[in-house]
Amino acid sequence: MMADWLVRLEIQALFDAYCDCLDNDRLEEWPGFFVADCLYEIIPKENVDAGLPAPLIHCDNQRMLHDRVVSLRNANIFSPVLYRHFLSAIIWQRDAADLVVRSNYLVVNTSPLGESSVYQTGRYEDRLTATDSGWRFKSRRVVYDTARVQTLLAIPI
Amino acid sequence: MMADWLVRLEIQALFDAYCDCLDNDRLEEWPGFFVADCLYEIIPKENVDAGLPAPLIHCDNQRMLHDRVVSLRNANIFSPVLYRHFLSAIIWQRDAADLVVRSNYLVVNTSPLGESSVYQTGRYEDRLTATDSGWRFKSRRVVYDTARVQTLLAIPI
Amino acid sequence: MMADWLVRLEIQALFDAYCDCLDNDRLEEWPGFFVADCLYEIIPKENVDAGLPAPLIHCDNQRMLHDRVVSLRNANIFSPVLYRHFLSAIIWQRDAADLVVRSNYLVVNTSPLGESSVYQTGRYEDRLTATDSGWRFKSRRVVYDTARVQTLLAIPI
């Protein structure tokens, strides 16, 4: 039973590090949270509920995540929007050696003019796999509730 | 001392499961977080501060919670509002075999049109009791800060 | 390794108690979270990024924190604004016997008229030191993202 609590704490530590990386503008470290053969998707809840698989963003390996960061760095030269991620309701179970995890997220952003507001909420649907460096994302699906979501130039969620 | 940390993690797990249930529209499971002889109240902070006991919602057994879910399912046929709960400042102490717990909550909702915004904040005041299935709510009092609170058709907090 | 998880839980407990104190209007207890020879600063992220050290609020011992609470109590006689703090992305490391910790915060406030909204987000940069009563703040630097920040009459962050 103790082992289960440790797993919960390990998931928390991974999620803490992930949010810390994105929210403090160290995007270059972001692909390192995923394994090479990974899946990262951003998809509206509306589509998931309707059984439409079409995601807004679909990266099916770690190289695509690297490319995305490079594009963002080239595009957002001035005053990028700032994110702060907040999580809740972390639920997990084992699936063979992997962990299947879901959680709520809230992203509050602050514009270059200093206005902070709710940017989006949604649910993470994750599969974690054990590596020599600890748990990493085999897949992370970001299912967002909010309609107004910028996709081209947005920092990853 | 280790036992105390485990209790803290058990409370977290209960709260995670509670939020996950409400935020992913599995309302039918919600009464199962309470014991049969329970109390669930929603009351404005204003009333609590003024010593006025009158709650907006008062359910004093688990059957009333079931009835509430049935009403909600019948009333909200189309596009219900979506909630995401976020918690903080979980403080607890023992009272004989029970746990007395308080915490902050934030509910962000998303309208059918896809607008996400702060819906309400407040404080949970809970009494947890041990059952064969783990900790359950003997009472949960929801003390809300925010004035604009819909009560008739609202998803439980 | 177990010791490290306990430290993480101890940090969480300190942060929970700190937020609980501020959000439930027990400001008189707030200086007790700091050691006598402490530093408490509130500074805009803009200044930190530009290498400008000028903080909006600078208290370099616990007595100044006490004085601040007394001023707030004298100034805010009627209907003070209510805060709720939410934290995420708690990252820590040891520095000799101290802990160096950073985290995200979100403060949602509710006006006397009952309007709840995002008040500010930012990052805590902390140094914790062990005392007979557990971990206490040797320094807490509040780096805020949001432009609109009231400083004179504001409850501490």
Q: Look at residue A73 in the predicted model and tell me its pLDDT.
A: 87
Identify the DSSP state of C32: G
Q: Is the pLDDT of residue A15 over 90?
A: yes
| Gap between the Cα atoms of A116 and C147, Å rounded | 8
Angle at B116 between CA C107 and CA B41, to 5 degrees: 70
Q: What is the pTM assigned to this prediction?
A: 0.96
* B146 closest CB neighbour out of C23, C106, C114: C114
Q: Cβ distance A28 to A69 under 8 Å? A: yes
DSSP assignments along chain A, one per residue: -HHHHHHHHHHHHHHHHHHHHHHTT-GGGGGGGEEEEEEEEEEEHHHHHTT----SEEE-SHHHHHHHHHHHHHH--S---EEEEEEEEEEEEEETTEEEEEEEEEEEEE-TT--EEEEEEEEEEEEEEEETTEEEEEEEEEEE--S----SSPPP-
Residues in B closer than 8 angstroms to C14, CB to CB, are none
Amino acid A10: pLDDT: 97
- The H or E element that residue C58 is part of is strand C57-59
Residue B152 has pLDDT above 60, yes or no: no
* Test the C interface: residue of A10, A21, A86, A117 with most C CBs within 10 Å: A86
Name the closest residue on chain C to residue A108, using Cα atoms: C121
Cβ contact A104–B85 (<8 Å): yes
CB-facing half-sphere around the CA of B59: CA atoms within 13 A = 23
CB C86 within 8 A of CB B118: no
Please compute the mean of the pLDDT values over residues C53-71 and round it to a whole number: 93
Distance from CA of B145 to the nearest CA of C (A): 7
Q: Do A19 and C88 touch (CB under 8 A)?
A: yes
- Mean pLDDT along residues C121-127: 98
Percent of chain B with pLDDT over 90: 78
Q: What is the mean pLDDT of residues B40-49?
A: 93
CA geometry: angle C116, B121, C30, nearest 5 deg: 95
Residue A56's pLDDT is what? Answer: 87
Any A CB within 8 A of C50 CB: no
Mean pLDDT of chain A: 92
Determine the Cα–Cα distance for residues A37 and C139; give it in Å rounded to an integer: 43
Full 3-state SS string of chain B: CHHHHHHHHHHHHHHHHHHHHHHCCCHHHHHHHEEEEEEEEEEEHHHHHCCCCCCCEEECCHHHHHHHHHHHHHHCCCCCCEEEEEEEEEEEEEECCEEEEEEEEEEEEECCCCCEEEEEEEEEEEEEEEECCEEEEEEEEEEECCCCCCCCCCCCC
Query: Higher model confidence: residue A113 or residue B2?
Result: A113
Cβ neighbourhood burial of A21 (10 Å; 0-12, 13-18, 19+): buried
Per-residue confidence (pLDDT) for residue B145, from 0 to 100:
95
Q: What subunits touch chain A, counting only 3 or more CB pairs under 8 A?
A: B, C
Provide the pLDDT for residue A99. 98
Mutual angle of helices B2-23 and C2-23, in 10-degree steps: 60
Residue C102 has pLDDT above 90, yes or no: yes
Q: Find, among C105, C65, C56, C53, the residue nearest to C84 by Cα.
A: C105
Q: Give the Cα separation of B136 and B35 in Å (integer).
A: 6
Span B74-113, pLDDT tens digits: 876 555 789 999 999 999 999 999 999 999 999 999 988 8
What does the DSSP assignment read for C100-142?
A: EEEEEEEEEEE-TT--EEEEEEEEEEEEEEEETTEEEEEEEEE
Identify all chain A residues contacting C118, using CB atoms and an 8 Å cutoff: 108, 116-118
pLDDT at site B150: 66
**pLDDT band, residue C112 (cuts 50/70/90):** confident
| Beta partners for residue A84, in sequence order | A108
- What residue has token string 């607008």? B115
**Average model confidence (pLDDT) for chain B?**
92
pLDDT recorded at residue C33: 98
Minimal CA–CA distance to B13: which of A93, A84, C101? A93
Coil/strand/helix, residue C21: helix
C8/A13 touch (CB, cutoff 8 Å), yes or no: yes
State how beta strands B34-44 and B134-144 pair: parallel
Nearest Cα to Cα of residue B101 among C9, C64, C16, C97: C16
Report d(CA C45, CA C52) in Å as an integer: 10
pLDDT at A113: 86
Using the Cα atoms of residue A112, residue A143, residue A150 and residue B106 in order, give the sign of their dihedral: negative
Q: Which of B55, B137, B136, B121 is nearest to B83 (CA)?
A: B121
Instruction: Extract the tokens encoding B135.
Output: 């900790």
pLDDT score, position B79: 58
Supply the Cα-derived Rg of chain C in whole angstroms.
Answer: 16
From chain A, the residues in CB contact with B82 under 8 A are 45, 145
Cβ-based neighbour number of residue B136 at 10 Å: 18
- Segment C74-96 shows an average pLDDT of 87
Q: Is the pLDDT of residue A88 over 90?
A: yes
**The total number of residues written for chain A in this structure:** 157
How does strand C34-44 pair with strand C134-144?
Answer: parallel
Please return the burial class of A64, using the count of CB atoms within 10 Å of its CB with bins 0-12, 13-18 and 19+: middle
pLDDT attached to residue B109: 94
pLDDT in tens, A100-110: 999 999 999 99
Residue C36 Cα, gap to closest chain A Cα (Å):
30
